[in-house]
């Protein structure tokens, strides 16, 4: 079996809240292979966000192991984790977190400022990523000149610019209307078809249905791990638009 892009072994996260000891994650064993599109689901307080933070090396576990590209990153220092994040992981959040006075191109180039990438290469890679997400004509626009969907596309391009091994998306459609959310999910499916490894956190079953594997969390435990034939976001988007036209015509 090929080495997993990321894997957890008996992963636990504990918090001390006043006099109460909280186990936010309880012995999670998960392996995610290259090219998988995985949705992480669960109600509020289920542990899914804690799990995502640990996968993204934004936090360290209380017990267990995290293996990224076959290497144990469990006990790395904060500075070492920052380097791992910048090298191996791309992040997409619900809020786009773009610099408001900076162009789309410069926003996408931002992660490369923390590497030794020459400026001309950084511009070239950022341009390629913006083209990939369909914003070739918007590279010189500021966030205020872009729609919410376009801003999220810039954020996705920024997540891709370092050519990460793993793309983590935390509720990426949560701040978008239905149609724009479907457009973003269509883009994620296109990236998946190109071989990108994607882990997406969502509380919406309709969004999780576009992934090919679903992990279900409840009370800090992994209670479900199933693969399925993903629904087509392109087809769902077309259906939504046809339905809207029909409603407008009546």
User: What are the structural domain ranges in the chain?
Assistant: 6-95+166-249
* Averaged pLDDT of the chain: 93
Q: Where residue 109 falls among pLDDT bands split at 50, 70, 90?
A: very high
The pLDDT of residue 105 is: 97
pLDDT over 80 (residue 114): no
3-state secondary structure of 182: helix
User: What are the residues facing 20 on neighbouring strands?
Assistant: 17
pLDDT tens for each residue of 90-100:
999 989 999 99
The pLDDT of residue 15 is: 92
In this structure, the dihedral spanned by the alpha carbons of residues 108, 36, 172 and 143, taken in order and rounded to 10 degrees, is 20
We find that the CATH architecture of domain 6-95+166-249 is 3-Layer(aba) Sandwich (3.40)
Report the C-alpha gap between 98 and 148 in whole angstroms: 11
Q: Tell if the pTM clears 0.95, that is, is over it.
A: no
Q: Where residue 17 falls among pLDDT bands split at 50, 70, 90?
A: confident
């Amino acid at each position: 079996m090929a080495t997993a892009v990321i894997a957890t072994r008996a992963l636990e996260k504990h918090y001390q809240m006043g006099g109460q000891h909280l186990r936010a994650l309880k012995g999670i064993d998960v392996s995610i292979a290259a090219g998988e599109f995985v949705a992480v689901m669960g109600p509020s307080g289920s542990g899914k966000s804690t799990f995502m933070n640990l996968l993204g090396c934004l936090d360290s576990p209380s017990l267990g192991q995290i293996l990224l590209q076959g290497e144990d990153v469990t006990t790395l220092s904060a500075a070492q984790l920052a380097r791992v994040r910048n090298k191996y992981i791309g992040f997409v959040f619900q809020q786009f977190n773009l610099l408001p006075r900076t162009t789309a191109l410069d926003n996408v180039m931002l992660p490369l400022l923390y590497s030794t990438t020459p400026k001309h290469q950084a511009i070239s890679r950022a341009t390629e990523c913006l083209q990939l997400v369909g914003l070739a004509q918007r590279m010189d626009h500021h966030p205020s000149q872009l729609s919410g969907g376009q801003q999220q596309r810039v954020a996705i391009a920024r997540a891709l610019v370092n050519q990460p091994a793993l793309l983590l998306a935390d509720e990426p459609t949560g701040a978008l209307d239905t149609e724009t959310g479907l457009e973003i999910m269509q883009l994620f499916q296109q990236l998946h078809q190109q071989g990108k490894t994607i882990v997406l956190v969502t509380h919406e079953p309709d969004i999780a249905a576009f992934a090919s594997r679903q992990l279900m969390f409840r009370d800090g435990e992994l209670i479900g791990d199933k693969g399925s034939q993903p629904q087509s976001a392109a087809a769902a988007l077309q259906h939504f638009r046809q339905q809207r036209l029909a409603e407008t015509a009546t």
